[in-house]
Amino acid sequence: MGTLALEVHELVKTYASRNNPVRAVDGMSFEVGSGTIFGLLGPNGAGKSTLLRMLTTLSRPTSGTARVLGFDVVKSPLEVRRRIASVIQETAVDLLLSVRDNLLTFARFHGVNQAKARSRADEVIDRFRLGAEVDRKVQDLSGGFRRRVQVAKTFMVATPVLFLDEFSTGMDPLLKREVMRQIRYEARNGRTIVLTTQILSEAEELCDDILIMNKGKQVARGDLNTLKSLSQEVYEISMTFESMPEDIASELSTLPVLRANVENNTLEATLKAAEGTVLELVSALARHRRVLRMEVSGASLEDVFLELTREEA
């Protein structure tokens, strides 16, 4: 690991509550190298956004320390803010300004001069397909479009760290793909991306390094392969039959199935068994029936996520 973008040590955030205080983040410690796409995953209420709020200086930790590029979020918040751009979970745009003014204003706050901001805005407008609406006030645009403007703003500046809290909310698939391409491009150029998401395929596709958290604590950490290896002997099968066998439900009930879904003539199931056993089970299911398509694969990030967070729950 080269330069460290994030250093978090024993970080705690407690919220006062009438009955008992809630530890939204409970002693998290981790480091993230520069140029990494770092994913924070966890179910609702896991503490991801609270952690991000502390890292972006929005919220003060109850105890512990967090540093962004060596600057302490409590002692040097301004130095931290000079080095970050963030997309918070809620839609955040200046509704009374036009799309272009939103981009230019954001750049101004980050000290980008007017000429550079204008040329950069043209690029971002093009990349985010904002051209048709560029002079309209954001209050006249749809929710998805507002989110698009919000994410586009962070590409107006070249801060070394970018925080994205569920960035793809409300985005159409085409735009999402383009933003993901941009994120990869920025990371290749040394920008550190810290993202939270509920869409595991996004994390699977983007992240070099993933931390799964639940109830304010770290549950697992590593790259995709490391995490998948945590979920030993979990396999996903997908079988499309010419016609769905009538006794499939009773047959499945005898198998070590974690999850199963039958739709039309396709069975999708997650099995927890040794590799040899899984192959035998698949052969048994295929016997005496015409199978049009069959696929057996190792555990997905979703399987790992569900297994780890269920154990913790």
63 close to 13: Cβ distance less than 8 angstroms = no
3-state secondary structure of 129: coil
Task: Give least dist CB 92 to another protein, A.
Answer: 4
Site mask, another protein, residues 170-189, x = CB under 8 A?
Answer: --------------------
Distance (Å, whole) CA 292 – CA 274 = 25
DSSP 58: S
Largest distance between two CA atoms of the chain? 72
- Please give the size of the binding site for another protein, defined by CB under 8 A: 33
Strands (E), the chain: 4-15, 22-33, 37-41, 63-68, 71-72, 84-87, 161-165, 192-196, 209-214, 217-222, 234-241, 257-263, 266-272, 291-298
Burial of 244 (0-12, 13-18, 19+ CB in 10 A): middle
Binders of another protein among 10-69, rule CB under 8 A? 53, 56-60
Q: Binding residue for another protein (CB under 8 A) from 118, 137, 176, 221?
A: 137
The residue to which tokens 């006794």 are assigned = 247
| C-beta closer to another protein: residue 73 or 239 | 73
Of 75-83, 125-133, 213-221, 264-272, the segment contacting another protein by CB under 8 A is 75-83
**4 Cβ partners below 8 Å, 6+ apart?**
31, 32, 33, 34, 67, 69, 70
* Segment 278-282 long-range contacts (CB within 8 Å, at least 24 positions apart): 278/235, 278/237, 281/255, 282/237, 282/239
Binders of another protein among 105-124, rule CB under 8 A? 105-106, 108-111
Q: Binding residue for another protein (CB under 8 A) from 4, 74, 88, 296?
A: 88
Q: Binding residue for another protein (CB under 8 A) from 86, 196, 214, 218?
A: 86
| C-beta closer to another protein: residue 109 or 185 | 109
90 sits near another protein (criterion: CB under 8 A):
yes
Q: Binding residue for another protein (CB under 8 A) from 3, 29, 96, 144?
A: 96
| C-beta closer to another protein: residue 34 or 105 | 105
| C-beta closer to another protein: residue 155 or 163 | 163
Calculated CA dihedral for residues 184, 187, 188, 189, nearest 10 degrees: 130
| C-beta closer to another protein: residue 104 or 213 | 104
136 sits near another protein (criterion: CB under 8 A):
no
| C-beta closer to another protein: residue 82 or 217 | 82
Distance (Å, whole) CA 114 – CA 155 = 16
84 sits near another protein (criterion: CB under 8 A):
yes
| C-beta closer to another protein: residue 96 or 249 | 96
272 sits near another protein (criterion: CB under 8 A):
no
Of 102-110, 121-129, 173-181, 186-194, the segment contacting another protein by CB under 8 A is 102-110
| C-beta closer to another protein: residue 57 or 218 | 57
C-alpha pair distances (Å), 198 with each of 51, 82, 109, 146: 15, 28, 30, 20
292 sits near another protein (criterion: CB under 8 A):
no
Distance (Å, whole) CA 212 – CA 203 = 11
Interacting residues toward another protein by CB under 8 A: 53, 56-60, 77-78, 81-82, 84-86, 88, 90-98, 101, 105-106, 108-111, 137, 150, 163
